[in-house]
Amino acid sequence: MTWAELTSALRESGALTAEWEKAFATVPRTEFTPDRIHYEGEWVDRGKDSARWLDLVCSDLPLVTQLYDDGRTPSSSSSMPTVVATMLRQLDVADGMNVLEVGTGTGWTSALLARRLGGELVTTIEVDTNLADIARNRLGGAGLGATVVAGDGTLGYRGKGPYDRLHATAAVQRVPSAWIEQTRPGGLILAPFGTAFCNGALVKLTVSEDGRSASGPFVADVAFMWVRDQRPESGPFDIDDVRHSASGIDPKHVDEESTAAFVIGLRLPGLFRQRVWADYDPLGTGRSEVWDGVSYAHCRYADWDGPHAVTQSGPRDLWEEISAAYAWWERSGRPDLTRFGLTVTTAGTQRAWLDDPANVLLRLGESVG
């Protein structure tokens, strides 16, 4: 597939709207993708296999462009074109708007914004100095003079604010107060949001007239890398004083229904989850594990309603809490992701809600950094 063919496919699918089609057509991802990309566990080098490199870059795929020192964990990527188109559509920009992007990465999204609005109206901030330098050179070489700043994006960048739009390309668990303070009243903050349990969803917040809060709905199911100081860190945990029981729900519901998992994460903040195959288990079965750093629980996928399917340890009965949160979602009519929303304040509170900001589910935190 060529870039022109992908652009056409995105338009036909409805992901790419008319106001963004010219930018996509004239700013191909090929110009903002490094010569080495990581896909399905291996590096693809443009110099050694240019055909495969080009095929991947012109496909509707997310591509990892950098790994942490462990050689396994992605630290930068080029997002899936469909997702980029969706986010830019949700950003609701108009001519003359001043935009701050948090998370420059390869510079491709910054380039799209600069093509649409003009580089003088686009500022992008990247925590990785090397990536910022590379993106600055790419943007300059393409004649797209966006301002590229090396720094901590969670602090924003006051130098060219206030902004009409703030666009984040990395996920947060807590919306930074600086983002609210640096976005004008009535302006939008668009950011991937998640919890330690589920990453995540795209939240679209409108800043209040007094500039002290922002509120809005979740508008799409997306998953992004975390901003570096908000990555979930589970830490070690001990399992003792074990209790066994049957499960009231099939654990596959928790792991395979993305909206249910997201809602459970909203109602049970700080709860980590993973799927494992426990070869040390006599039954050799897969299971869903959850823990909060002190309490632990798992539920086997096989015979989940059997008397020993659930194992729990610690002061909390975590699997019962998960089961109750899932049951609440079902009793509420299995509401879609877009019926939920978030309200955040510069004072540090975050509240998730259903249908209306007054219908608060849970206070998510007292400090947003």
Q: What whole-number distance in Å separates Cα of residue 58 and Cα of residue 182? A: 35
Cα-based angle 199, 350, 291 (whole degrees, multiple of 5): 45
Dihedral angle of Cα 324, 353, 271, 367, to the nearest 10 degrees: -150
> Which one, of 227, 242, 128, lies nearest residue 174 by Cα?
227
Contact call for residues 188 and 308 (beta carbons, < 8 A): no
Phi-psi region of 293 (alpha: psi -120 to 50; beta: other; left: phi over 0): left
* Alpha-carbon gap, residue 25 to 3, rounded angstroms: 8
Is residue 75 annotated as a catalytic residue, yes or no?
yes
Task: Compute φ and ψ for 60, nearest 5 degrees.
Answer: -85, 70
Q: Is 9 helix (H, G, I), strand (E, B) or coil?
A: helix
Q: Is the peptide bond before 162 cis (omega within 30 degrees of 0)?
A: yes
The interaxial angle of helices 81-91 and 18-26, nearest 10 deg, is 130
Q: What is the DSSP string of 139-194?
A: HHHTT---EEEES-GGG--GGG-SEEEEEESSBBSS--HHHHHTEEEEEEEEEEEE
Tokens encoding 67: 């790994």
b (16+ CB within 10 A) / e for 171-190: bbbbbbbbbbebbbeebbbb
| Coil vs helix vs strand at 315 | coil
Of 59, 75, 208, 245, which one is the catalytic site residue? 75
Q: How far apart are CA 301 and CA 303, in angstroms?
A: 7
How many angstroms separate the CA atoms of 309 and 49, rounded?
49
Kindly list the catalytic residues.
75
